């Protein structure tokens, strides 16, 4: 029983740290996602998967999950330290419900994950049709932010714009030799795009190179980022799953020693 109590307290302290980490990750993700979220506009007539809403929901979900984990961990520590059977039973029930919910979330993620990946490229292409390189609208600013943040240009490559791979896109400058949007040039302040001086970046616009412009496509970079975080999430999820089973068992072991409690 004493060993179970020590394990329960130690694990919940770790859980509290994990909860704080998840909370911070959610806040950071939300802050970083805000400038680019408008690039993932909803194409309700073409897809049933809203990428813009998915990103915002994920950030909010991480924040709520972080707070929840911290509170549950605090409940477990309090139950073990104060030797309260009521707190421990409530704690064990909450963890079991959380365990079932996590299994359901994993199942949904496995089903919808591939769909999200398939719709990512389609969503970017549809959104770029409304992009203006010197536009002041939210969508244009979002794409300029994506290119600056991920250091990429276009969908598959920077040549998407000049080759006409993006239907409906037109360059805003009157330069017929322009090959890429000015937002794909390095050292461009994308927040000042509406007032940008195109002549200042003529070398980049007319002859983009790896020294003055971003040349790789954004789809592969975004996909790799999603894959990286998915792999990390799976590893963390397995660890949490095992730990939750341990704390449930520990809580019930302590509760079974009724003579030691009020």
**What are 41-83's pLDDT values in tens digits?**
544 344 444 555 666 677 788 888 888 888 988 888 888 888 7
By C-alpha distance, which of 91, 86, 85, 90 is closest to 11? Answer: 91
Q: Tell me the mean pLDDT in the region 130-149.
A: 79
Euclidean distance between CA atoms 188 and 148, whole angstroms: 8
Euclidean distance between CA atoms 193 and 195, whole angstroms: 5
Q: Tell me the mean pLDDT in the region 167-182.
A: 72
Q: Are 166 and 176 in contact (CB under 8 A)?
A: no
Model confidence at 179: pLDDT above 50: yes
- Dig out the tokens for 159 from the structure: 């040549």
Q: Are 87 and 72 in contact (CB under 8 A)?
A: no
**Segment 82-100, tens digit of pLDDT:** 878 888 888 888 888 888 8
Cα distance from N-terminal residue to C-terminal residue, the chain: 16
Mean pLDDT of all residues belonging to the chain: 77
* pLDDT on residue 48: 44
- Dig out the tokens for 113 from the structure: 């994950």
Q: Return the higher-pLDDT residue of 45 and 120.
A: 120
Q: Tell me the mean pLDDT in the region 243-262.
A: 72
| pLDDT band, very low/low/confident/very high, at 168 (cuts 50, 70, 90) | low
C-alpha 19, offset from chain centre: 17
Q: Tell me the mean pLDDT in the region 165-180.
A: 70
By C-alpha distance, which of 109, 112, 143 is closest to 126? Answer: 143
* pLDDT on residue 106: 73
- Dig out the tokens for 200 from the structure: 């200042």
How many C-beta atoms lie closer than 10 Å to residue 84's C-beta? 18
Q: Are 179 and 205 in contact (CB under 8 A)?
A: yes
* pLDDT on residue 175: 65
Least confident of 23-32, 65-74, 213-222: 23-32
| pLDDT band, very low/low/confident/very high, at 144 (cuts 50, 70, 90) | confident
* pLDDT on residue 45: 44
Q: Return the higher-pLDDT residue of 203 and 236.
A: 203
pTM (2 d.p.) = 0.54
The torsion angle over the Cα atoms of residues 95, 96, 101 and 103, rounded to 10 degrees, is 110
Model confidence at 111: pLDDT above 50: yes
Q: Are 119 and 50 in contact (CB under 8 A)?
A: no
User: If DSSP codes are grouped into helix, strand and coil, which group holds residue 126?
Assistant: helix
């Amino acid at each position: 029983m004493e060993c179970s109590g020590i394990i329960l307290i130690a694990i919940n302290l770790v859980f509290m740290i994990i909860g704080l980490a998840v909370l911070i990750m959610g806040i950071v993700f939300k802050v970083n996602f805000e400038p680019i979220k408008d690039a993932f506009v909803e194409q309700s007539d073409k897809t049933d998967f809203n990428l813009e809403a998915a990103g915002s929901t994920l950030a909010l979900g991480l924040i709520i999950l972080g707070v929840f984990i911290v509170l549950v961990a605090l409940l477990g520590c309090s139950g073990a330290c104060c030797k309260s059977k009521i707190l421990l039973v409530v704690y064990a029930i909450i963890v079991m419900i959380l365990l079932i919910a996590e299994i359901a979330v994993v199942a949904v993620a496995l089903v919808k994950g591939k769909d999200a990946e398939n719709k990512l490229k389609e969503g970017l292409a549809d959104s770029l049709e409304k992009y203006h390189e010197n536009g002041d609208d939210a969508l244009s600013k979002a794409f300029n932010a994506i290119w600056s943040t991920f250091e990429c240009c276009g969908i598959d490559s920077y040549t998407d714009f000049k080759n006409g791979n993006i239907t409906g896109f037109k360059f805003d400058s009157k330069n017929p030799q322009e090959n890429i949007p000015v937002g794909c040039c390095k050292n461009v302040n994308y927040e000042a795009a509406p007032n940008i001086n195109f002549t200042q970046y003529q070398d980049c616009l007319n002859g983009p190179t790896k020294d003055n412009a971003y040349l790789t496509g954004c789809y592969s970079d975004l996909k790799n980022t999603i894959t990286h975080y998915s792999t990390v999430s799976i590893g963390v999820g397995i660890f949490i799953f095992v730990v939750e089973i341990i704390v449930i068992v520990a809580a019930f072991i302590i509760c079974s020693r009724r003579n030691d409690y009020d």
